[in-house]
Structure 1
Amino acid sequence: MRVYDILGIGFGPANIALAIALEEQEPGVSARFLEARTEPAWQPGMLLDGSDIQNNPSRDLVSLRNPRSHYSFLNYLFEEGRLIEHLNLPIEFPLRKEYARYITWVARQFDEVVDYGRRAEQVRLIQHDGEALYEVTTACGGVYLGRSLVVAPGRAPYLPEPFDSAASRRVFHLTDYLFRLEEFTTHGAPESVAVVGGSQSAAELTLDLARRFPRTRVRNLVRSYSLRLKDTSPFSEEGYFPAFTEYYHRATAEGRRRLDAYMHGTNYSSVDADVLKELYLLIYEQRLDGDQKVHVDGNRLVTAVREQGDKVVLEIEERNTALTESDTFDLVVVATGFRDLGPGPDQEPYPPVLEDIVGHFRTEESGELYVAADYALEPRDSGSDCPPVLLNGLCESSHGIGDAGSFSLLSLRAGTILDGLLKRGTFAAPAHAS
């Protein structure tokens, strides 16, 4: 059985960026990536018409680390024959659809180091020919051996109570949006849809439903007073600089929480100005016409969910008056974000795939894994022979807002992880060349 220098779990943007860094900087290191999807795809359930990526296109898979790379978004446009046309677009950021195609274009150039349709289910620490290795077993029974592990499965969808126990397929996370629409609207538009959450995605989904189904009642239920404008101040945006990541990692636990509170509005429970304006104007015009179909209702908490035939009934409480109501919908989209690592109710202490080896590694006082500056897990015992494990794209609680599922620092993080692997790994590039 072949032993790889690096086993990567997941082949989304985070580990694609690592594969690029390996090719460009350390081509002699052998690597294999295991991806649960059967083909490359980025947010396929959320490729809404007209939606953009919300970050500068040069913060792509590679450019901040290597602006001369073949794998940049700019070069993708050039090779696809759309560079001049794209530069003429009257938009600030690229369409999400186009960025998804860019990611697929890059991923396809690494097909020889990726096994698709391989969901990693278990990781064990074993001894093999006198060497400590990680054995990764996939859902289909495949077994892989590696001298190090880079874990990048993406952040798990977060479904708060009571949605976490809802059995109906008509209640679903935003990542399944387009797929469930196709499933349930084949024979006609829904009468009513609820969108739960105050995020950018929640507002975009509310608009998308209004465009697709003009006669459908769409109700956006928001826990806070209403939808909030995203903080796009260039001063706040420096939270997506590598210097902030280093500063955040050195901060105390209390300091990190203060920084989190300040940076929250740059990424969470907030919406871009253009989307807010479009949504507000739509609602105003519907009121003007005496035919309001779209509603944004703040201070609303969903306390119960139940299926009733081919409908879903939500029990809703007004948070400040304690008044309650029941409302019935054909579909309920839960736009409440994703889990990262941490001790909170919307977090998880470690990636589930590491269940069998997590006991070997150091934890914070609050219980979650301690993650070093180079994204490596630290062995619990100083004399441990645990090979390196590094987390790629899961570390907002230890590295700050730049790790919040954003492309902003993705390429630089890949370089940091590669440096960490080379420093901590038991392999040397010339000795294990493919």
Structure 2
Amino acid sequence: MSKNAMTSKLTLQLQQAATDPEDIFDLVCVGFGPASLAIAVALHDRGVRAKVLFIERQRSFSWHAGMLLPNARMQISFMKDLATLRDPRSKFTFVNYLKTKDRLVAFTNLSTFLPLRDEFNDYLTWCASQFEQDVRYCQETISILPINSCQEPVKSWQVVSKDVNTNRQGFVTARHVVVAIG
């Protein structure tokens, strides 16, 4: 297929997608690491009913893969988790994670309040697992294109991605896009 034919096909797809509001996401986040996870948690805690999609290249949630050395501790307080400073009563606090995992008493009896990096990774993975329905893993974002006529401000975006296993391309339309690729 020639480049012009591909461009025409993509243009037609963009026009069709833009005409059906059911297929438009309110927000698409490229990357599903701590920044996008914090967005998911904040939207959940605030009760925002938005159609959100997270596109992630990795096969599953991972934080600092390969850097989780044995007995290495965080250098910041656990209070700087995904939720505590914004909403201490959130179900996504590190303290609630510890309680859920039956580790709260053990953690409070440590001589430090700096969690192990491995435990903080487990906390982030625990939070991410609660948004699995909104994440498309194994998707590499190829481009983010504005959808508009030349005379108007951009009102929506086309996010094109490909499956890392099959190279099959797909796209979604979003009113807002956040790029949080680490």
TM-score where L is the length of structure 1? 0.34
Distance 1:148 1:92 in 2: 38
Secondary structure of the structure 2 residue equivalent to 1:18: helix
Distance 2:65 2:173 in 1: 30
Contact 2:95–2:104 (CA<8 Å) still a contact in 1?
Answer: yes
1:5 to 26, 30, 39: 26
1:146 aligned partner, one-letter code: A
Residue 121 of structure 1 is matched in structure 2 by 142
* Residue 135 of structure 1 pairs with residue 163 of structure 2: no
Residue 49 of structure 1 is matched in structure 2 by 70
Residue 109 of structure 1 is matched in structure 2 by 130
Residue 216 of structure 1 is matched in structure 2 by none
CA displacement at 1:107 relative to structure 2: 0.1
Secondary structure of the structure 2 residue equivalent to 1:106: helix
CA displacement at 1:26 relative to structure 2: 4.1
2:114 to 93, 97, 116: 93
* Residue 79 of structure 1 pairs with residue 100 of structure 2: yes
Q: How many residues align?
A: 153
Deviation >6 Å, runs of 4+:
none
RMSD: 1.6
Distance 1:26 1:81 in 2: 27
CA displacement at 1:127 relative to structure 2: 3.5
Distance 2:138 2:41 in 1: 21
Unaligned runs of 5+ in 2: 1-16, 18-22, 164-168
* Residues 298-377 of structure 1 aligned to structure 2 (within 5 Å): none
Unaligned runs of 5+ in 1: 155-434
Distance 1:47 1:18 in 2: 24
CA displacement at 1:88 relative to structure 2: 1.1
Larger Rg: 1
Identity %: 35
CA displacement at 1:92 relative to structure 2: 3.8
Distance 2:148 2:111 in 1: 58
Residue 335 of structure 1 is matched in structure 2 by none
Contact 2:142–2:160 (CA<8 Å) still a contact in 1?
Answer: yes
* Residue 144 of structure 1 pairs with residue 181 of structure 2: no
User: Larger RCO: Structure 1 or Structure 2 (Cα < 8 Å, ≥ 6 residues apart)?
Assistant: 2
Distance 1:92 1:68 in 2: 19
1:93 aligned partner, one-letter code: L
Secondary structure of the structure 1 residue equivalent to 2:160: strand
